[in-house]
Amino acid sequence: MNSRKTARSALVSVFSKDGLAPIVQKLDQLGITIYSTGGTEKFITELGIDVIPVESVTSYPSILGGRVKTLHPKVFGGILNRQENEGDVAELEQYEIPQIDIVIVDLYPFEKTVASGAPEQDIIEKIDIGGISLIRAAAKNFKDVLCVSSMQDYGEFLGLLHDKNGESSLEDRKRFAAKAFNVSSHYDTAIFNYFNSDHGIAALKFSETEGKTLRYGENPHQKGSFFGDFNAMFDKLHGKELSYNNLLDVDAAVNLMSEFFDDKPTFAILKHNNACGIATRSSIAKAYKDALAGDPVSAFGGILISNTKIDKPTAEEIHKLFCEVVIAPSFEEDALAILKGKKNRILLVQKLFELPKTLTRSCLNGALAQDRDYITDSKDQLEVRTKSTPSEAEIDDLIFASKVCKHTKSNTIVLAKNGQLCASGTGQTSRVDALRQAIEKAQSFNFDLHGAVMASDAFFPFPDCVEIAHEAGIVSVIQPGGSIKDQLSIDYCNEHGVSMVFTGTRHFKH
């Protein structure tokens, strides 16, 4: 069997005409017969290129408002016939079906229509039927047909036409077929997820069409890849390629800073997915200095993120620290010039972008999925459960601490004072251990915990935590509540003048 094929005909049916002109002009130059329909046919005709309407092949017009154009045996027979099969060739002749060697399709933009907030009827009309069917048929019959399934592949296909003058190898066609099934499976996944937005059907469909091989995974002996459109979230201005661990830390940083989107200038430093320093101040330079003061040791090699533009004074301070990544909504030009002084330092401009509503992770021989934790504890949700009521300044600190706590590995305790993280106990098997770790760490960096507040990601089953915190100087506590022994902690606070508020919302993070 001859694996090399010279194309003599092409069916072109696309939604977007961008980039199509050079292709049809080259097809025409090579003497390849072009079939088309609807808007694509009109576009090709206006280029002054001969095109055969599909309707003249099928003897059927486009019907149902354009819903049915190419769905016909004379079209699909021309695509699906096996050219080495004598019976198939005979049937083509018997039913006067033209052979089709190339299929070029660009599907209706279903995902873009959903993202635009269009009404349901408009979304439904953007579910492509004919195009997806053409793609599957042509890709299935890759031994004889070359399928171009997306305008993203126009450049590669045009290069192939120029280099081989209409000829393709089996390897070429199989490569394009793989691309085609990638397009069709992703398209169907998007449609299913739209219809199953309430998760009524217990099925998980996840598809990313863009991916990148990383230097390695979590460790050098592990392979690693990232799947997603990184450029939709960030403009990378400088530095080396991001590693697997960099990406995990960037994800943690972005999620944490999303809590402070509309707040005063806030700066955070993260290490191994947890904040080791964060502060809110009147200027971003002051916020950075106080975030660094939270743990200047752990900050070495960390991920830095700001909720506002990084200016020159801030950049001058950052430049003194070895850090892997700096993220901000923007940078002053003078700040960029300073920060680019380290060739490997990664500088990212974060764009406005909605994070996925569903979180997934591998588990056993399958996967776990859950809604993103969208609840941010706020002043109007707080329920004072003690005789003593926190002051306005203490409430601000409680909310600040709660936001940090939500994005710290459980079990966790967060200590804060005057809009600054004093210390946190992270990822401990005991809440008491997390508290002791936080107190010891705060004291090691000379924080005065008298007047500080404490946040816990879950309830206290015993009063030991509030007792230890009070002895260290803590004056107010925020926690979800919900323990059958809540009253024990409340009683201790009442006896010692400590205020405590309940939020009603647990924020475990594993």
Spatial contact of 271 and 404, defined as CB atoms under 8 Å apart: no
Q: Respond yes or no: is residue 140 known to be catalytic.
A: yes
| CA atoms of 41 and 39, how far apart (whole Å) | 5
* 3-state percent helix, strand, coil for the chain, nearest multiple of 5: 40, 20, 40
Token pair belonging to 418: 């005057």
Token pair belonging to 441: 């760490």
Spatial contact of 318 and 245, defined as CB atoms under 8 Å apart: no
DSSP sequence for 64-116 = GGGTBSS-SHHHHHHHH--TT-HHHHHHHHHTTPPP--EEEEE---HHHHHHT
Counting Cα atoms < 13 Å in the Cβ hemisphere of 178 gives 5
How remote is the C-alpha of 79 from its chain's centroid? 37
Selected catalytic residue, list 164, 264, 272, 340: 272
DSSP sequence for 445-477 = TT---TT-EEEESS--SSTHHHHHHHHHT--EE
| CA atoms of 272 and 243, how far apart (whole Å) | 13
Strands 302-306 and 323-328: parallel
| CA atoms of 421 and 295, how far apart (whole Å) | 9
The residues, any chain, with a CB within 8 Å of residue 76's CB and separated by 6 or more, are 133, 137
Selected catalytic residue, list 140, 143, 236, 309: 140
| CA atoms of 90 and 97, how far apart (whole Å) | 10
The residues, any chain, with a CB within 8 Å of residue 160's CB and separated by 6 or more, are 168, 172
Q: Which residues are catalytic?
A: 140, 272
